[in-house]
Amino acid sequence: MKFYTAHLRTGQTPRLVREGFSWGALIFGPVWLLAHGAWLAAILVGALDAGLGLMTHGPLQAVLVLWAAWLTGLFGQDLRRWTLLHRGFDELHVIAARDEAAAFGRLLAVRPDLAEAEL
């Protein structure tokens, strides 16, 4: 089972964000954040990566860059939630489901008014 948070803004399709670690955020960092629309978070993570790369050298640089990538993987989904919060989305529910489609179905079962708004 995976857990998802459902976010809604009036007149918008609900957004689901998975809880937990993100391998995509670990590997692709700011690009992954940009792909998910978290522009400010992507800029901040990119600036952190660039700063670590410019201010350190040798083994320390490798350790700090890997540490920053690991933190991005740990908190990437939280950065997406933070972005949605600042765009005016409200967190509606926490949903347990096997995948995103099943989570969306469970959300519509609890909130059928959202399905009517989609039509």
Closest alpha carbon to 9 in 109, 94, 104, 117: 117
Task: Give the dihedral of Cα atoms 64, 84, 4, 10; nearest 10 deg.
Answer: 180
Number of domains the chain is built from? 1
From the CB of residue 98, how many other CB atoms can be counted at a distance below 10 Å?
9
- What secondary structure letter does DSSP report for 113? H
Q: What is the pLDDT of residues 62-87, one digit of tens each?
A: 999 999 999 999 999 999 999 999 99
Asked if residue 3 has pLDDT above 90, the reply is yes
Residue 77's pLDDT is what? Answer: 97
Average pLDDT in the chain: 93
Record the pTM: 0.86
The helix, strand and coil proportions of the chain, stated in percent and rounded to the nearest 5, come to: 65, 15, 20
Which domain does 11 fall in, by range? Answer: 2-118
Asked if residue 118 has pLDDT above 70, the reply is no
**Does residue 80 contact residue 36 with C-beta atoms inside 8 Å?**
yes
Asked if residue 95 has pLDDT above 80, the reply is yes
The residue count for the chain: 119
